[in-house]
Amino acid sequence: MSNLTQLTFEGDNGEAYFSFDGKQLIYQSNRGGFECDKIWTMNIDGSNKTMVSPGHGAHTCAFFQPGEQQIVFASTSHLQGSCPKKPDLPSHIRYAWPLHPYDIYRANADGSGLTALTDNPKYDAEPIVSADGKWIVFGSQREGDFDIYRMDVDGDNVQRLTDTEGYDGGPWISPDSTKIVWRAWHPTSAAEKAQWQENMKQDYVQSTPLDIWVMNADGSNKIRLTDNGATNWAPSWHPDGKRIVFSSNMDDWRDDYKTYGHNFELYLINSDGSGLERITYNKIFDSFPMFSPNGKKIVFGSNRNPDKPRATDIFIADWSE
């Protein structure tokens, strides 16, 4: 990794993903003084930042469709109010991820022509479009648990791909559209199952260990790649289709996490679980990695700006092997 460049400087920014032609990034940010995230696009040099989601509601998890003429993202713009209310957490829970009632939308690349692809009172988000442009994989709470689903690119033919109790989310489709990588935690003890059921009832996901899994695009042949007791998450495929990049806190934790947050580094692993390789050594939060389609660049979110120690910005770097 070389020629690291910071692309954002205002607000909190995250989940920046390349267009299929490698020329643009789409990401979420509260820049501009918004209370919750909106969807933005920019060139890969950080120029031409443009908001492409509605100005009301919360928006997350955006992705280009092949051809770069349309985008998909999750939104609460169908609800009244500027931003959804955060859940009330028990005092013993330090961190939890709220499950707002997002639906998944498609829009033109400039934000016009907004069309709902899902209509569900629970969480539908995390959409990733296949490289062949035919289908979308996403995470959903629609059946009471948190599972991975796929649907046609127009929202038809929804299929559930996971059914083990617990969290299965953050799916990503391989470049050849034949496999899916995702992150998961499945409770085993009675106490863990009770905790999880309360999470689903109150619409949040409490911080837990997570592992990286791979399955076929139809949900068959599920394989666990990590088993280390850490939080392994935000996986995406290398363009060679043989490796996966992800974020993890498996190696160490910062003593001063109240200032900087816990230390998450970036790692590569083969799709069979072999060849684990650490690729960042920053002792701070690095996550949401994605390689460019040609494999020559990598983009990720990081808290490494010392002037904004608890804010996440987007960074891009050259990649060579």
What was the pLDDT predicted at 236?
99
Q: Any idea where the domains of the chain sit in the sequence?
A: 13-242
pLDDT of residue 257: 52
pLDDT (0 to 100) of residue 91: 77
Cα separation, 214 vs 220, in Å, equals 10
- What are the distances in angstroms from CA 267 to CA 142, 278, 284, 303? 32, 4, 14, 17
pLDDT for 261:
56
pLDDT of residue 92: 78
| pLDDT score of 95 | 79
Specify the pLDDT at position 215. 99
The pLDDT of residue 135 is: 98
pLDDT for 309 equals 73
13-242 topology per CATH = Neuraminidase (2.120.10)
27 contacts 44 by C-beta, under 8 angstroms? no
Q: In this structure, how many other beta carbons lie within 10 angstroms of the beta carbon of residue 294?
A: 11
Confidence (pLDDT) at 89: 79
CA torsion sign for 6, 112, 136, 34 is positive
Prediction pTM value: 0.94
Compute the distance between CA of residue 224 and CA of residue 21 in angstroms, rounded to an integer: 31
Residue-level pLDDT, tens digit, the chain, 321 residues? 999 999 999 999 999 999 999 999 999 999 998 999 999 999 999 999 999 999 889 999 999 999 999 999 999 999 887 798 887 877 777 778 899 999 999 999 999 999 999 999 999 999 999 999 999 999 999 999 999 999 999 999 999 999 999 999 999 999 999 999 999 999 999 999 999 999 999 999 988 899 999 999 999 999 999 999 999 999 999 999 999 999 999 987 655 555 555 789 999 999 999 999 999 998 889 999 999 999 999 999 999 887 777 789 999 999 998
Q: What is the DSSP letter of 258?
A: H
State the Cα–Cα distance between residues 38 and 28, nearest whole angstrom: 5
With tokens 């957490």, the residue in question is 89
β-bridge partners, 88: none
Which DSSP letter does residue 310 get?
T
What b/e readout covers 109-142, taking b as 16+ CB neighbours within 10 angstroms?
A: bebeebeebbebebbbbbbbbbbeeebbbbbbbb
Length of the chain: 321
Cα 151-155-156 angle, rounded to 5 deg: 75
Backbone phi, then psi, for 133, in 5-degree steps? 75, 15
Please spell the DSSP secondary structure of 202-229, one letter per residue: HTEEE---BEEEEEETTS-S-EE---SS
Q: What's the pLDDT at 207?
A: 84
Rounded to an integer, what distance in angstroms lies between the CA atom of residue 192 and that of residue 110?
A: 44
